[in-house]
Amino acid sequence: MTMKFDAIVIGSGQAGTPIVFKLAGEGMKVAFIEKEFLGGTCVNVGCTPTKAYVASARRMFDALNGEALGVNIPKGAKVDLLKVKERKDKLVQKSVEGIAKGIDGEEKISFYKGEARFTDKKTITVNGEKLEADKIFINVGARPSIPDSFNGLDYLTNQSILELDILPEHLAIIGGSYIGLEFGQMFRRFGSKVTIVEKSDRIITKEDEDASAEIQKVLERDGVEFRLGAECIGAEQNADGSFRVKVDCENGDPEFQASHLLLAVGRIPNTDTLHLNAAGIETDDKGYIQVNDKLETNIPGIYALGDCNGKGAFTHTAYNDFEIVNANLFQNGNRKVSDRILTYGLFVDPPLGRAGINLQEAKEKGLNVLIGYQEMKKVARAKEKGETDGFMRVIVDADSNKILGATVLGVGGDEIISGILNVMYADAPYTVIRDSVQVHPTVSELIPTLLEDLE
């Protein structure tokens, strides 16, 4: 027997959850399928828990660094990782319970706990039941990529490391990009020895070289060690569960010992178990579902939202995918993915806020640009806070006077970037923010100043 619905939503992430409630609110009968946990990556093992850990790590940093600001804090501060975890778990639980309560209270939603698989273009099986709908929304997210050389080892991922209740003695992190850097700084501040291994000659190679260097400098000052330019990375597990981490196979040594091993080398889409070929849904060679500018796949009525479509790997892009589909289906809109401006943050301390292109991208494209630049050590508010690491840079199209991108690395950078992003979305010239009056004393007030003398 086949159960017929108006729509099927696969996955309860930051696009799947709002779309299922929107569909139900429009009076549609909806099947909602989730194989792991309600709320998806962000709520359970992504933004919510990791930023809770970042907050605890910052408190530890403050406890150990009061003297520079004239605050004498008695020695002896230490992290209770179990309590940090318990606080995180409560935050996650509250969000998950809120979603569950909403599902229970909506008679139009039929929830299925299990793994979805296509058997035809508009037919899904889950737990042996067949479901059918004209509209299907896929929001299955992504998972950590695990290199073959680490198979069989008791490694940690961004998910399992959040379940530790005892602090690692020495945490080795494979991958010097966004996830690895955030966990590296927080666990070093918690008290673990941390070594980050990266095959490239610098961390976060997608960022400008000076941003990479500044972030590495900050983390090294915290005590994080880096092994860059590592070749033939691998590891062997000792009898006691610890690891011998290999960073240069070509020359034999060096290698080092670590108590725990975190793999942070990228993510892959959770599309391989969906049997997409049964529906004729196209993917690229990495498994990302191919979609058009309105997030519809090559099969009419089937949409892919969030990380699995390769159009963004962030909570905010997943939610924006929902907004695009919602506007186009129910509000007579004409919203497109291509209208979206790239923006994201790296939540080390100080944080990095990014919008649009960076300097190395501008150079690669041969663009005619003007640059505004300001070091944080020259910003009064940053000096007053005693947090002067980093810089701000804005890239302007020399012909149109429109802002093409910005990098704000420093105190408040994750929030400050929004002001620049708003001007970019308004498609206004940079002079709008240059000529604005900002609150003093703030870090943001230096944005107009740095735009006064573009070079």
Summarize the confidence of residues 346-370 as an average pLDDT: 97
Q: Which residues pair with 396 in a beta bridge?
A: 370, 403
Residue 48: which pLDDT band, with cuts at 50, 70 and 90? Answer: very high
Residue 251: which pLDDT band, with cuts at 50, 70 and 90? Answer: low
Transcribe 1-30 into DSSP letters: -EEEEEEEEE--STTHHHHHHHHHHTT--E
What percentage of the chain carries pLDDT values higher than 90?
95
Contacts of 260 (CB under 8 A, 6+ apart): 156, 161, 164, 168, 169, 170, 171, 172, 243
| pLDDT greater than 80 at residue 256 | yes
CA distances to 230, 232, 246, 254, 418 from 250, in Å: 10, 7, 10, 10, 45
- Superfamily holding 2-143+268-339: FAD/NAD(P)-binding domain (3.50.50.60)
Q: Which range, of 71-75, 304-308, 320-324, 430-434, averages the lowest pLDDT?
A: 71-75
Q: Which residues pair with 194 in a beta bridge?
A: 171
Give the domain 148-265 fold. FAD/NAD(P)-binding domain (3.50.50)
Q: pLDDT tens digit string along 314-357?
A: 999 999 999 999 999 999 999 999 999 999 999 999 999 999 99
| pLDDT greater than 60 at residue 291 | yes
Residue 249: which pLDDT band, with cuts at 50, 70 and 90? Answer: low
Name the token pair of 77.
């501060």
Q: pLDDT tens digit string along 260-270?
A: 999 999 999 99
Contacts of 158 (CB under 8 A, 6+ apart): 45, 46, 50, 144, 179, 183, 262, 264
Are 2-143+268-339 and 343-450 the same fold in CATH?
Answer: no
**H-type alpha helices, 376-412:** 380-385
Q: pLDDT tens digit string along 58-114?
A: 999 999 999 889 999 888 889 999 999 999 999 999 999 999 999 999 999 999 999
Q: Which residues pair with 268 in a beta bridge?
A: 143
- The confidence score (pLDDT) of residue 73 equals 87
Among candidates 233, 170, 222, which has minimal Cα distance to 200? 233
Distance CA 159, CA 45 (A): 5
Among candidates 383, 325, 400, 406, which has minimal Cα distance to 15? 325
Q: pLDDT tens digit string along 190-228?
A: 999 999 999 999 999 999 999 999 999 999 999 999 999
What is the pTM (predicted TM-score) of this model?
0.95
Tell me which CATH code domain 343-450 carries: 3.30.390.30
Domain locations in the chain as residue ranges: 2-143+268-339, 148-265, 343-450
Q: Which residues pair with 173 in a beta bridge?
A: 196, 262
